[in-house]
Structures are given as structure tokens and as C-alpha cells.
Structure 1
Amino acid sequence: MNAIPGAQVGTPPVDVEMMRDSVGRLIGPSSVSPEGEELAGLTGLLRGHMQLIIPEIERAAGKLPEDDVPRYCALACVGEARAKLRATAGTGPHRAVAHARKLARSLMALCDHYEALTGVEMCLVCDKPIRDGEDSVPYGQVSASGGAACAGRIHARCPAPDAVAAADERS
């Protein structure tokens, strides 16, 4: 895993992949609506993840100039996340699920800011980190207006979205 600038010695790195997997249990294509103890446990897990990542974001953002836009955006996201951590779910199962989903979306945004501030590069196809030594290739999806709509890198093992779309059209 990439070294995290400014991480304290002895502090385990933030496991963004695990955090994103936790988020995926509530939001995303394979999500479900957990209930009861499962929902309470997942909500607690999301809260714990947020409490771990917030200080790391603040530490990384604190190294940037005060007028830096990524710093400002990351710290604004931290403020929103802290507000969601202070909020309560309200009464009823629907409100509890809605509250957990708000926490999940906030955690996803925190993960994005953490990765941006620490230089972690994500695969544009599978949304997993591209680790040191892994084969990757540049990828730039062109929009209808001719500009790059999504530029970055993908794992060499991940099929490019345009190749998948072309294969679907042929079948």
C-alpha cells in the first residue's frame, strides 16, 4: 500500500477498500435494506469508519496551503460528516435506514477526499486502488463534445468500459 504522508508511526493505515465495501452494503447495485440488529451494527460500523478517517483527512488537508481548493472541499466534507455523526436517526425503521444511508454517502465522500489528498489512484472500472507494482493502463473516456469525460488509469486486468459496450453491441 502507498505510504500516507504525515501518518504517525505505529498508526495503521486507513482501509478505504473496507470502508467502501461497508458503504456498498447500504448504497449501490447490490445493496439491501438491513433491519434491526444488522442495521444497528452496520450503522455503528459506518460511524466508526468515519471517526477513523476524519482525523486522517484533517491531517492531510492541514499540509496544504489555506487557499487550496482541495483542502477547502475536504474540510467542508469533514464538517458535513461531523454534523451527520451528531444527528440521530429518529423513530421508525425507515428513518433508521435513511440515516444509515446518509452516513454511507458521507463516508464515501470522505474516502474520495482521503484518496485525493494522499495520492491514491483508483481504477476507473472496478473502483479499487491501483497498488504499487500492479499493471495498469491509462484510460480516457471521450465525451460527445470531444473532451475527456473521465480520465485516469485502470487495472490491466479490468476490461475498459468502451470495450465492454462494443462487445455488447456485437452480441
Structure 2
Amino acid sequence: MTALNERAPVDAHTIRETYTVGLDVWGTCPPELVKLKTLLGRLRGHVQLLVPEVTAIAARMRGEMRHAAVYVIVRAHRLLEEGAGKSQVAKACHAQDLAVISRALLTLFENPGPLGPSTGTSDIEEAIRGRICGACSQLIASGESYERVLFASEASGGIHGYRHTDSCVVVAEERRAQLRAI
């Protein structure tokens, strides 16, 4: 058992093996549900292990490496928050997404680039907590109401995101158009 301030060691070999399976989740069509549940659990565990490690290193990263690290950390938080969905296809897609993020986190952990003194940790924390409205592209401020929505995408079945429920100009225009149609 580890003390509260100690972190579990990062087993890069096991993480690589797991994310390789996750990246090839469509190798068997349709993916086997029993194996998917196990794979999802392992991938979630790897992401949960790597996020605090990469977050600690990201505060010391510079330039594009830091920007990439913050993006990957934020995306990892969102994937963990979203969950897998109910259908077998949704679970397989989520497994593949977690595999991509696991690979990115491990790469950043192992190859962080030149490190300097720790700076801007509050910027990283703010990015993790931040939500951008997919309709108006504005920050959803603390206390503003929002909803999770699926935005249309030509490249996939949709993109998960957030949208103001009250204060967004785009949402207000949509509602006005709906009311005019009545």
C-alpha cells in the first residue's frame, strides 16, 4: 500500500500493450463486449494514473510541448467525465479514444522536452475546469448554466461539447427561430 503522497509507479510497458489493443479495438468486428469492459477499465486506470504525472510535468514544460500537454490533460479529463455510453459501438469508440489519450500521456511523460522551473499551474487548472460553448465559442463562466450536447460532424457521428443554456447569442437566435415557426 502506498502513502497518500506517493504515486503508483508508471509501468510504461503494460500501458503500451493496453493502448495498442485499444487502438486496434476494431480488429474484431464487432468488438467482444466482455473484452471491451476489461479493456475500458484498464485504459481508464492508465489515464487516471498518468494525468497527475503529466500535469506535474506540464507545469515545467515550455512552448508547444506545454500547449500539447495541457490539451491532452484537458481531453483526458473530458473522456473520463463522459464515460463510455451504453452501446457496444459507443464502448469501442470510447476505448479507442482512451487508447489515443493513454498513448499521448505516456509520450508526454517519457519525452517532456526541456524542462524549466514550475510556472503557471493555475493556468493548467483553469484549462481543466474551463468549458467553451460550442455554439458561440465563448468561455462558459463559473456559475453560468450549460448543457452537454452532441454537435454535428462530417468526420464522425458527432462531437461532444458544451453549450450555454441561457446566455448564448446563438442559442437565443435558435429559440427565436423556433418560436417564429410556431
Question: If the length of structure 1 is used for normalisation, what is the TM-score?
Answer: 0.56
Structure 1 residue aligned with 2:10: 14
Flag the structure with higher helix content.
Answer: 2
Amino acid across the alignment from 2:61 = L
CA contact (8 A) 2:22 2:98 kept: no
Q: 1:77 to 1:45 in 2, by over 3 A?
A: same
Pair 1:89-2:84 in alignment: yes
Distance in 2 separating the partners of 1:64 and 1:79: 16
Amino acid across the alignment from 1:113 = L
Pair 1:69-2:91 in alignment: no
Amino acid across the alignment from 2:22 = L
Pair 1:104-2:99 in alignment: yes
Pair 1:43-2:40 in alignment: yes
Distance in 2 separating the partners of 1:37 and 1:88: 17
Aligned length: 110
Distance in 1 separating the partners of 2:112 and 2:85: 34
- The CA deviation at 1:52 is 0.3
* Root-mean-square deviation (Å): 2.8
CA contact (8 A) 1:26 1:32 kept: no
Amino acid across the alignment from 1:58 = T
Pair 1:113-2:111 in alignment: no
Question: If the length of structure 2 is used for normalisation, what is the TM-score?
Answer: 0.52
Distance in 2 separating the partners of 1:52 and 1:16: 11
CA contact (8 A) 2:19 2:43 kept: yes
Amino acid across the alignment from 2:60 = K
**1:18-66: per-residue Cα shift (whole Å, max 9, x none)?**
111001112249954642222111101100100000100011111235x
Pair 1:54-2:48 in alignment: no
After TM superposition, the structure 1 = structure 2 runs for residues 143-158 of structure 1, keeping only pairs within 5 Å, are none
Distance in 1 separating the partners of 2:82 and 2:111: 27
